[in-house]
A and B are shown apart, each in its own frame.
Chain A
C-alpha cells in the first residue's frame, strides 16, 4: 500500500535497496520493523535490524514516519484487550494531524519500544498516551517550522491536514513526507510544542472502531497462540501436584519412546517434554503425569481456618494512615458501627491458557510473549538464564485477556528455559487449562475490619480500618525467583518477596471527607501464590468500605445517595453520584420488595477514574433465591479518548466483578488447589449476565484518567448492598453464590 504522501517511487526503492530509509526524526532504517501480521506468519528474521528505543526524550521513540507515507506509533505498553492500540493511535493522529488509516502501532518490544515497565494500574493512557501525544505534537511543530523557513512564511499562516502542510494564502503545500525527503532529522521532545486545544479535536473523543476486532472476527492470526515459525516444535510442562511437592521418581525412558517426542527436559522438579506436534506433546504430558511420583507437603492452613489464621499469624502491623486518639473520637460519637468483611482468593482465569514461543540461537534468546512488561521480563530472564539483557529480545504479542499477573510471565520463562536446552528451533509452550487454574498467582484473600462514628447530622466523625492480606504484587522485576520454573530447578532460585506492596491498602482510605482516618495493614504470608489481580486490594477494600457506607447510611436513616453526597466535597465525585441517581431513575424505583437496589462509588486509587454504580437484583419467583438483573454505571475518566472503548472496558469490568462477587472463590485442600477447571471454578456465563449500562461524563479539558479497574470494587459493594436490602440481614462474606440462582 502506498499513500499519496510518499516520496516518488524511484527514490523509495533506492532507499529500500540501500537500506537507507526515509524516516521522521532519527537515524536507522524502519522498514525492517515487521508488522505484527508478518511476525505471525513466521516472517520474522533475527530482527537485529530493528532499531531500539534511544530514550524516552527522543521523538523517534514514540512516533516514526516512513518511506511508505505511514506513521508508526510505538508504545512500551501492551494491548491486553483494553483497546489501547486504537486509543493511542487516535491520540497520535490527532496531534500530528493525519488520518487514522495511515497510522500503525507497535506494542512492547525490547528491540524497538521504550521501556515503560508494566502495563498495569490503568496507567497506559495517562502515561504512554501523554508521551505519544507530546511526541506527535513535537513532530508536527518541527515540520511546520521547517516548512515555514522553506517558504519564508510565519508558522501561524500554515495549517496541516492529513499530513499536508499548506499556507493559508494557497501558495504553498507540501506533505510531511515530501518535506523530509529522505533526510534523517533528529528531534527531541522539548515540551515547547503546543498541544491542540480540545475543542479542535476531530479524532480524540470519537468512538473510533477497533480494526483488530474485524481481523479477529475473520480468524486472522492475532494472538501469540497463533504464532507459527518455521520448524517450530511444541512443549508442555508437567507441574508438580502442589506448590511443595517433591519429585520422587520419573520413568524417563518410556516417555522418550512415545511418538514424536524429541526431548525430555528435567531439572529438579521442572519437567518438560518437547515434541514435533502439539498433540504429541499433550499425549506425552498425560503419560508423564502417570509416570511421575511425588511426595506432597500439605498446604496449611486449611481453607476453613484461613481467616482466623490470617489474624493470628500476620506480621507486625504497618501504619498506613494515622489518626491519634481514633478510639476516643469514634467512642465519643453519638452512633458507632463496626463490621468485618471477607473476600476469598480469586483467580484471573484467563480464557486462553498462557502461551509463549522462544528461540535460542547462537547464544541469543528471542521470546514472543504475552507479558504485561517486556523489559521487566527481559531483566528477569537475564537473571534466570545468566545471560546479558542485550542478548535477549522480548517481543510482546497479544495474549488472552490477563487482568493482571496471570501465567504470562511464567510461561515465557518456561519457553525460554526449554528453548535453551533445544537450541536452533523455536519452541512453543502453551499451558494446559489445569496449569493456568492451579499455578497462576491469585488475587489474595482479605479480611477488612472497619469501625466508624457518626455525628447527629449523619456526618462521619472518624474511620478506623484494619486490613489483613497477602501481597498483591509479585510480578517479576529482575529476580528469577519470581518464575515458577526457576523455583523448581535442582538449584532453585529463592523467591524473594519484594516487600509487601501498597496494593493491599489501595482504596482503603475513603475519599469521603472524614476528619480522622486511621488505617493499619497486617501483612500475612498465606498458603497460596498471590499477585496482582485487576484492582489489587482495591476490590476488597472498596467492597468493605462501600458496604460499610451503606450500613452507616441505614444507621443514620439517610438515603444512600444523600448520605454519600453529604460526606463528600469532591465535586467530580458528587457529580458522578448525582448523574447516576438520575440515570437509574432512583426516585421511581420499584419498592414492592421484590427488587433490591444497591449503590456504591469509588475513585480508583483515589486518583484515577470516578465510578458509581447501582445494582438491581430481583427475587426469583420460586425458591427464595436472587438474580442480578442490571448494573447501571457512571464513569468520569477525565478527557475521554474513545467513548466506545471506555464503555466496552467498563462493561467488561462490571460483568467480571459481578462474576467474582457472586460466584468465585479458589478452592484448595491439603493436597493442593482443587479449582482446576471451569466446573470446579465456575464463572459467569451468558445466561447469568446482567444487563449493563454505562454512562460517561466527558471532561475534554481535564487530563485522561485510567479506567480499566474502576468498576471492580464498586460493583462488588453495589451487589452486596442490593442483596442486603432484600434480606433482613447484611452479608459480609464473598462470594454470594448461596443467595443466587
Chain B
C-alpha cells in the first residue's frame, strides 16, 4: 500500500510516499540520497545497511516503512556535529580502519550505538557489538582498535 510517512532523517524532517512494505534501506539510498547504508544481504545477516533508529543500531534492510512513522533515523552522513566529524569517524580514519570499506558503515553505526550506551566498553563488549556486521576484508582488528581509541579519547577529553 502506498502511503505518506514522516521521518526525521539526520535531524531533517522528511516526507515520503512509499509502499509501506518497502524497507527503509531503499528509501534512504534512493529517495533521501544517502550513500552510507549499503545493501549486503537484505536478510539481517550482514549489517552493511545499519542505521541508528532512535539512537540504536538496526539493519535498515529489515525495517519496513510502515512501522517507522515519525522515527528518528541517523546515518553516518549525519554524525558530524557543527561541521566536525564524530570522534569515531576521526578514529576510523586515524587507525585506517578499512580496506574496501563496504562494511565500514555498519561497523561505524554499531560503534556509535555502543559508545552511546557504554562509553568505555571492554574488548569483548566491542567485539560483541561489532559481531553483527560482517567484514570480508578482515579489517576487524582495526575496527576494534578504532572503537578503543575513540572511547579513550572521550574519557580523556
Q: Measuring CB to CB, which residues of chain A are less than 8 angstroms from any residue of chain B?
A: 80-83, 209-210, 212-214, 216-223, 225-226, 228, 259, 277-279, 282, 348-353, 398-401, 403, 430, 432-433, 644-645, 648-649, 651-656, 659, 677-679, 683-687, 689, 691-692
Q: Which of B19, B41, B108, B133 contacts A279 (CB 8 A)?
A: B19
Q: Are A351 and B40 in contact (CB under 8 A)?
A: yes
Specify which chain A residues have a CB less than 8 angstroms from the CB of B135 in the assembled complex. 351, 686
Specify which chain B residues have a CB less than 8 angstroms from the CB of A278 in the assembled complex. 26, 29-30
Specify which chain A residues have a CB less than 8 angstroms from the CB of B39 in the assembled complex. 225, 352-353, 430
Q: Which of A82, A223, A279, A649 contacts B102 (CB 8 A)?
A: A223
CA distance in complex: A721, B138 (Å): 22
Closest beta carbon of chain B to A712's beta carbon, Å: 11
Q: Are A350 and B97 in contact (CB under 8 A)?
A: no
Q: Are B141 and A352 in contact (CB under 8 A)?
A: no
Q: A209-B93, A213-B92, A400-B100 are in contact. Are A221 and B140 (CB under 8 A)?
A: no
Q: Are B77 and A352 in contact (CB under 8 A)?
A: no
A-B contact count (CB 8 A): 171
Q: A352-B40, A353-B40 are in contact. Are A277 and B26 (CB under 8 A)?
A: yes
Specify which chain B residues have a CB less than 8 angstroms from the CB of A80 in the assembled complex. 100
- Judged by a CB distance under 8 angstroms, whether B36 is at the interface is yes
Q: Are A219 and B75 in contact (CB under 8 A)?
A: yes
Q: Which of B76, B99, B144 contacts A217 (CB 8 A)?
A: B76
B60-101 CB mask vs A (1 if < 8 Å, else 0) is 000000000000000111011000010001001110111111
CA distance in complex: A214, B91 (Å): 10
Q: Are A219 and B76 in contact (CB under 8 A)?
A: yes
CA distance in complex: A685, B138 (Å): 9
CA distance in complex: A219, B35 (Å): 6
In chain B, what residue has the closest Cβ to A82?
B99
CA distance in complex: A689, B136 (Å): 12
Specify which chain B residues have a CB less than 8 angstroms from the CB of A279 in the assembled complex. 19, 22-23, 26, 30
Specify which chain B residues have a CB less than 8 angstroms from the CB of A352 in the assembled complex. 38-40, 48, 102
Specify which chain B residues have a CB less than 8 angstroms from the CB of A218 in the assembled complex. 76-77, 79-80, 85, 89
Q: Are B137 and A209 in contact (CB under 8 A)?
A: no
Q: A351-B46, A353-B40 are in contact. Are A226 and B35 (CB under 8 A)?
A: yes
Specify which chain B residues have a CB less than 8 angstroms from the CB of A212 in the assembled complex. 101
Closest beta carbon of chain A to B130's beta carbon, Å: 4
Q: Which of A213, A217, A683 contacts B136 (CB 8 A)?
A: A683
Closest beta carbon of chain B to A558's beta carbon, Å: 33
CA distance in complex: A403, B99 (Å): 11
In chain B, what residue has the closest Cβ to A433?
B41
Closest beta carbon of chain B to A517's beta carbon, Å: 33
Q: Are B40 and A213 in contact (CB under 8 A)?
A: no
CA distance in complex: A651, B96 (Å): 12
Q: Which of A83, A351, A678, A684 contacts B103 (CB 8 A)?
A: A351
Q: Measuring CB to CB, which residues of chain B are less than 8 angstroms from any residue of chain A?
A: 19, 22-23, 26, 29-30, 33-36, 38-43, 45-46, 48, 75-77, 79-80, 85, 89, 92-94, 96-105, 108, 126-128, 130-131, 133-144
CA distance in complex: A217, B41 (Å): 21
Q: Are A213 and B97 in contact (CB under 8 A)?
A: yes
Closest beta carbon of chain A to B69's beta carbon, Å: 18
Q: Which of B43, B48, B126, B134 contacts A683 (CB 8 A)?
A: B134
18 pairs, A vs B, C-beta closer than 8 Å: A80-B100, A81-B99, A82-B99, A209-B93, A209-B96, A210-B98, A218-B76, A218-B85, A226-B35, A228-B33, A352-B48, A401-B136, A433-B43, A648-B96, A648-B139, A652-B138, A679-B45, A689-B138
Specify which chain A residues have a CB less than 8 angstroms from the CB of B23 in the assembled complex. 279
Q: Is the interface of A mostly helix, strand, loop or mixed?
A: loop
Closest beta carbon of chain B to A308's beta carbon, Å: 32
Specify which chain A residues have a CB less than 8 angstroms from the CB of B96 in the assembled complex. 209-210, 213, 644-645, 648
CA distance in complex: A352, B47 (Å): 11
Q: Are B143 and A401 in contact (CB under 8 A)?
A: no
CA distance in complex: A685, B98 (Å): 15
Q: A210-B96, A430-B39, A433-B42 are in contact. Are A651 and B141 (CB under 8 A)?
A: yes
In chain A, what residue has the closest Cβ to B136?
A351
In chain A, what residue has the closest Cβ to B37?
A219
In chain A, what residue has the closest Cβ to B129?
A686
CA distance in complex: A401, B40 (Å): 12
Closest beta carbon of chain B to A729's beta carbon, Å: 29
Q: Which of A81, A225, A679, A692 contacts B141 (CB 8 A)?
A: A692
Q: Are B92 and A685 in contact (CB under 8 A)?
A: no
* CB-based closest 10 A-B pairs: A81-B100, A655-B138, A401-B100, A219-B36, A652-B138, A81-B99, A219-B77, A400-B102, A678-B45, A219-B76
CA distance in complex: A556, B32 (Å): 67
Closest beta carbon of chain A to B56's beta carbon, Å: 18
In chain B, what residue has the closest Cβ to A211?
B93
Q: Are B30 and A689 in contact (CB under 8 A)?
A: no
Q: Are A216 and B101 in contact (CB under 8 A)?
A: yes
Q: A400-B102, A656-B136 are in contact. Are A217 and B85 (CB under 8 A)?
A: yes
In chain B, what residue has the closest Cβ to A659?
B138
Q: Are B141 and A217 in contact (CB under 8 A)?
A: no
Q: Are B127 and A216 in contact (CB under 8 A)?
A: no
In chain B, what residue has the closest Cβ to A398?
B100
Closest beta carbon of chain A to B41's beta carbon, Å: 4
In chain A, what residue has the closest Cβ to B42?
A433
In chain B, what residue has the closest Cβ to A693?
B141
Q: A83-B99, A351-B100 are in contact. Are A654 and B138 (CB under 8 A)?
A: yes
Q: Are A213 and B141 in contact (CB under 8 A)?
A: no
Of B97, B98, B100, B104, which is in contact with the most chain A CB atoms at under 10 Å from its CB? Answer: B100
Specify which chain B residues have a CB less than 8 angstroms from the CB of A213 in the assembled complex. 92-93, 96-98, 101, 104
Specify which chain A residues have a CB less than 8 angstroms from the CB of B130 in the assembled complex. 686
CA distance in complex: A678, B96 (Å): 26
Q: Are A222 and B85 in contact (CB under 8 A)?
A: no
Closest beta carbon of chain A to B38's beta carbon, Å: 6
Q: Are B141 and A677 in contact (CB under 8 A)?
A: no
Q: Are B136 and A216 in contact (CB under 8 A)?
A: no
In chain A, what residue has the closest Cβ to B94?
A209
Specify which chain B residues have a CB less than 8 angstroms from the CB of A645 in the assembled complex. 96
Of A209, A644, A651, which is in contact with the most chain B CB atoms at under 10 Å from its CB? Answer: A651
CA distance in complex: A102, B118 (Å): 41
Specify which chain B residues have a CB less than 8 angstroms from the CB of A644 in the assembled complex. 96
Q: Which of B35, B103, B105 contacts A221 (CB 8 A)?
A: B35
Closest beta carbon of chain B to A411's beta carbon, Å: 13
CA distance in complex: A349, B19 (Å): 31
Of A350, A351, A677, A687, which is in contact with the most chain B CB atoms at under 10 Å from its CB? Answer: A351
Closest beta carbon of chain B to A642's beta carbon, Å: 10
Of A278, A279, A349, A677, which is in contact with the most chain B CB atoms at under 10 Å from its CB? Answer: A279
In chain B, what residue has the closest Cβ to A232?
B30
Q: Are B142 and A651 in contact (CB under 8 A)?
A: yes
CA distance in complex: A218, B76 (Å): 6
Closest beta carbon of chain A to B122's beta carbon, Å: 13
CA distance in complex: A687, B140 (Å): 9
CA distance in complex: A685, B130 (Å): 8
In chain B, what residue has the closest Cβ to A277?
B30
Q: Are B136 and A214 in contact (CB under 8 A)?
A: no
Q: Are B104 and A217 in contact (CB under 8 A)?
A: yes
Closest beta carbon of chain B to A725's beta carbon, Å: 24
CA distance in complex: A222, B133 (Å): 20
Specify which chain B residues have a CB less than 8 angstroms from the CB of A648 in the assembled complex. 96, 99, 139, 142
Closest beta carbon of chain A to B16's beta carbon, Å: 12
Q: Are B93 and A217 in contact (CB under 8 A)?
A: yes
Specify which chain B residues have a CB less than 8 angstroms from the CB of A687 in the assembled complex. 127-128, 131
Closest beta carbon of chain A to B132's beta carbon, Å: 8
CA distance in complex: A222, B76 (Å): 14
CA distance in complex: A11, B30 (Å): 42
Q: Which of B35, B93, B140 contacts A222 (CB 8 A)?
A: B35
Q: A209-B93, A226-B35 are in contact. Are A653 and B138 (CB under 8 A)?
A: yes
